[in-house]
Structure 1
């Protein structure tokens, strides 16, 4: 049943925007996908097939970048490049996660999978770095490099200490998305820190207590209470789970 006129009048434009951040970011998300598709067409059929097969259709890390950059000012090209860089970094780590772990039987198929996962993952890392550099922002590039170092360190420690335990990159990637996005538009440090903590908690919500996410979002809301453009992102963080 369609709502009557009085009901529609009670729904403010702000409430409509807050309820659907992904629709607000729709045009930018299309550009992010186009940039990702351009990057994964290497010219080598086997590589392209593997990348297309493993490229996700939903981009929550890009959404955090784009939602964060709405709180300041930058060009479309720079925010889209950064959003694509974080998603490409995720693709790189996902491809590397396909590498067989533990005791394996070394045969022709295993060697092919090992070689392909390592080389194609490294290709994605290089593409992600190139995209981050397109922001022409040293602070953003430094944050991206720091995230890359954290990812590498986390994976090495997991392989050395507990190779059978699944390793999740979500917290690092979501935190990097918020941090780099905030740096790109020059948000003040307290706001940047709150965004990073909320995004990191969002990334851990599948395996950790949701209390940390609730606390992080409460702190974020307190800092952003005078910024209406932040509400869609805050509500999205509260209501979505990472993919």
Structure 2
């Protein structure tokens, strides 16, 4: 079922093209590293890994590592391996997520679990995490290793938190934001922080880049939440309403549930807690989200975090890279249009 909800007029010109252009050479080296590190004599490992890695993701998280390293005037080579490590961590979480969520689509293609099964997806994800940590060690920065390994643990905590909150309509907005800070934003934050660490920048610069990544990650996830009910399958790379069908409690649902009547809350409980989530129920859910402005308000909250992300970089002098990172924020938020 594809119901498109308008969030208003889309501003023109928000893309990540400038960032992609500035990082073209470094990203080519990152992609070479990714290809080299997915090699294995166990044939299923490169098959499963490449199925997802080559499926059209924007590589936003590793680009944050490259970009913040450049922003802090890093001149070495370690940022390439760290960026590849970040992408491997992200890919591993996607492989694991699809198993937990029983997802059949990922980026518009059959998910790895759908093609090879749950066991292969989990184990290949573990292989990629192992390769990620191996590259971190090779870079030789104990502080970068600490930041990224801490993020890996926080991401896993976030996944468990989301599992505990699944189908629980009593979840509050603060509780949900805690989930996405851990599950999504932690990797954005770490990816952005290791760049200035590697460059030997001071703590103020490190914290600024971390703030940028953290708030960008929260905004990014909130827009994903809105798009699940208000987007299209082609834009999402998954089916519209997947969160609803999986019983996930996301911010639009939290808002609509809080603002709803007793009858409406009963609907949400039946749909999400008891599994009555067919296409008719999805249509009803979207009606309630629109009635209570839950999608629009989710986007507004995303814009709030987007503004904080931009503020994080304000201490850096103006430059093409800083401008490009600002544009990334605008691009992530305006995917909702």
TM-score bin, normalised by smaller chain: 0.7 to 0.9
Q: How does 1:113-124 map to 2 (within 5 A)?
A: 113-124=117-128
Question: Kindly tell me: are residues 61 and 235 of structure 1, through their superposed partners in 2, closer, same or farther at Cα, counting changes over 3 Å?
Answer: same
Deviations 1:186-243 (A, max 9, x none): 222222212111212211224152112113313421x11x353642343333332299
Offset, 1:162: 2.3
8 Å contact kept, 1:62–1:177 = yes
Deviation at 1:100, TM superposition (A): 4.2
Deviation at 1:126, TM superposition (A): 0.3
Count how many residue pairs are aligned between Structure 1 and Structure 2: 217
Residue of structure 2 equivalent to 1:106: none
Shift in CA distance, 100/62, structure 1 to aligned 2, threshold 3 Å: closer
Residue 132 of structure 1: aligned partner = 136
What's the offset of the Cα at 1:172?
Answer: 1.2
- SS of 1:187's equivalent? coil
Contact 2:218 2:305 in 1 (8 A): no
Q: 1:15 aligns to what? A: none
Match of 1:3 in 2: none
Counterpart mapping for 1:4-15 below 5 A: none
1:144 corresponding residue in structure 2: 148
Q: For the Cα contact (< 8 Å) 2:22–2:321, is it kept in 1?
A: no
Distance 1:163 1:177, change over 3 A: farther
**Partner-residue secondary structure (3-state), 1:99:** helix
Q: Which residue does 1:10 correspond to in 2? A: none
Listed as ranges, the gaps of 5+ residues in structure 1 are 1-17, 103-108
Give the match for residue 325 of structure 2: 234
Matched, 1:193 2:284: no
- What is the RMSD computed on CA atoms of the aligned residues? 2.8
Matches within 5 A, 1:1-243: 20-55=18-53, 56-57=55-56, 58-101=58-101, 113-162=117-166, 169-206=183-220, 207=222, 208-221=301-314, 223-224=315-316, 226=317, 228=319, 230-241=321-332
Aligned-partner Cα distance in 2 for 1:183–1:62: 15
Contiguous gaps of at least 5 residues in structure 2:
1-15, 103-112, 170-175, 223-300
Output the CA distance in 1 between the equivalents of 2:118 and 2:211.
Answer: 35
- Shift of the alpha carbon at 1:46? 2.1
TM-score (normalised: structure 2) = 0.58
